[in-house]
């Protein structure tokens, strides 16, 4: 049996419980807050799925970090082409 989903669920539950305490919201949340939270979870899941289908993790990281490349093969090719150009 894989324990990872249970540990992640517990950690997220603790995080949300702490957030509820900071916002002075009673638990369980009133229905409108619970529905808005569920809508946010569904929207977040859809947004991540959409983003994954549009770009790779390396591209997403590069975009978030101002277009720095984390693709090792791409960096090697650009370094090789720069070295070839300077030797000519």
* pLDDT at site 76: 60
Give the DSSP per-residue string, 20-73.
HHHTT--SSPPHHHHHHHHHHHHHHHHHHHHHHHHS-HHHHHHHHTTT----HH
Mean pLDDT (whole number) for 32-61: 84
pTM (two decimals): 0.43
Residue 81, pLDDT above cutoff 70: no
- Are 60 and 51 in contact by the 8 Å Cβ rule? The answer is yes
């Amino acid at each position: 049996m894989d324990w990872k989903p249970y540990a992640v669920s517990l950690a997220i539950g603790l995080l949300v419980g702490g957030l509820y305490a900071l916002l002075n919201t009673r638990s369980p949340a009133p229905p409108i807050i619970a529905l808005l939270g569920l809508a946010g979870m569904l929207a977040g899941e859809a947004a991540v799925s959409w983003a994954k289908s549009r770009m790779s993790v390396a591209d997403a990281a590069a975009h978030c970090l101002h277009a720095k490349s984390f693709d090792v093969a791409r960096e090697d090719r650009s370094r090789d082409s720069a070295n070839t150009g300077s030797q000519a």
